[in-house]
Amino acid sequence: MPIRVLIVDDEPPARDELAYLLSEFSDIEVVAQAGSAREACEQVMAHGPDLVFLDIEMPGGSGFDVVATTLDMEDAPLIIFATAFDQYAIRAFEENAVDYLLKPVTEDRLSKSLARAREALSAREPRDKARASLEQLLAGVGTPQFSRIPVERNGRIALLKPDEVVFCASESRKLMIHTTNEAWPCHGICTMDALEQRLGSGSFFRAGRGVLVNLERIREFSPWFNGKYNLVLDDAEGTELAVSRGRVQYFKERLGL
């Protein structure tokens, strides 16, 4: 079976060059390309690649955002960074057993990276090992502690403060960020888990699998049927949301009840 590859880089010439180099290897199949963190997340979900060649510095979200998203997946792909980062960052990658390619990519170095990927994919539990390595990488290199939420608004990317957000919800395979009067698609963050991680503990509460609520924006709540709770939010529409039965106790604890 060929190794199914996704190439992620915001520069089309860099993607084309890497795709050309990969075409020389008979067991490699490039299934998709992406030019941003958000598109990368979408392509990972759509194609389930075995291996992702991932740029780090991209507009609208970094490669680390993509890594955080893949960690939420049951069948996470292997990651090889294609980066222009300095030697200090590269040393951190090596210590965490995550491979990298320093741009410009050479055929010889690419061949060695693919050999590592083949070995990892043929191992007994390659996905678990990849997940552990990437978790160590995020801990060692660190993801930016940046709490603003990027949203697509009128052709631009706006950065919302957490207290502007009333709730977030998965709607039609998109993450929608709801404020007092409006709702906007989230930009560059592809899963609710990644969004929850971005917001940290703070005042946000995971009311259900696809809903993240700002506790500061709850107007009132009451017990509902089947052990659930019903929330009424303080946005313009007085939106009502349910807390799933399995989350009710934690909800009460968060409120100090």
125 and 165: one domain? no
pLDDT score of 218: 94
Closest-CA residue to 69 (of 128, 134, 10, 123): 134
Q: Which of 141, 170, 192 is the last residue of a domain?
A: 141
Residues 202 and 107 in one domain: no
Contact indicator for 62, 17 with CB cutoff of 8 Å = no
pLDDT at 144: 47
Instruction: For residues 122 and 218, state if they share a domain.
Output: no
134 and 184 in a single domain? The answer is no
Same domain? 15 vs 115: yes
Percent of the chain with pLDDT over 70: 82
* Residues 85 and 136 reside in one and the same domain: yes
Domain of residue 40, CATH code: 3.40.50.2300
Where are the strands (E) in the chain, listed by range? 3-8, 28-34, 51-54, 78-83, 100-102, 149-153, 156-160, 167-171, 174-178, 183-185, 204-208, 211-214, 218-223, 229-233, 240-243
Which of 94, 110, 141 is the last residue in one of the domains?
141
Query: How many structural domains is the chain composed of?
Result: 2
pLDDT tens per residue across span 87-117: 556 665 655 546 778 878 889 999 999 998 8
Residue 72 confidence (pLDDT): 66
Q: Say if pTM beats, i.e. exceeds, 0.75.
A: no
Kindly state the average pLDDT of the residues 136-148: 58
Residue 150 within any structural domain of the chain: no
Any domain includes 106? yes
